A = this chain, B = another copy of it.
């Protein structure tokens, strides 16, 4: 039914735009207040009618999850763009730099909705955003091995170490407390992970 599809398309685009607007506002609320906000607060902060907010999200936990899913989707997409144009150590350093740079904007919001479950636990049970992130990082770290930058090792441990050291809370902490620039954070953490991985694991 192409007519039906055409008729519904603008509606869908509106819905997607409203959803993005709501998730943008959710990011600001998470940054400013942590998880202490309600769906009516989100309506006020985004300028969207409360009834509309309830059509998008069942409860505030849906908002946290959807914010996190969208964020991870965007990050993974950005990381994969780097993979097209860089290789080996250069690719690793570009990934570290990009992540640190982006994390200074989304990091504070994300610290409030961090999972209590381990990274590898989420990968193993097939959690979509965590699996996508693992899928983007594993080849970057694997290539350091094939290009002899680091010795043969457990790639799961290497990826876990990367996400642990590049934790958003660490990046926000270094930025806020020590006043480091995103560039310095990215370089230092990259060097830390790379040095740590010079031991065979």
Contacts and interface: CB of A to CB of B under 8 A. Distances in A.
Contacts of A121: 173, 176-177
A192 B119 contact: no
A198 interface: yes
A193 B170 CA distance: 15
A157 B188 contact: yes
Interface stretch (A48-56, A66-74, A160-168): A160-168
Contacts of A196: 192-193, 195-196
Contacts of A160: 170, 173-174
A131 interface: no
A15 interface: no
A116 B31 CA distance: 11
A172 interface: yes
Interface string A143-169: 000000000001011001100110101
A33 to B, nearest CB: 11
Nearest to A175: B118
Interface in A87-120: 111-112, 114, 116-120
A191 B195 contact: no
A117 B111 CA distance: 8
Given A165-B165, A195-B195, A196-B196, 19 more contacts: A116-B169, A118-B173, A118-B174, A118-B176, A119-B173, A120-B173, A120-B177, A120-B178, A121-B176, A124-B177, A157-B174, A157-B178, A161-B192, A164-B167, A164-B170, A167-B167, A188-B201, A191-B199, A193-B196
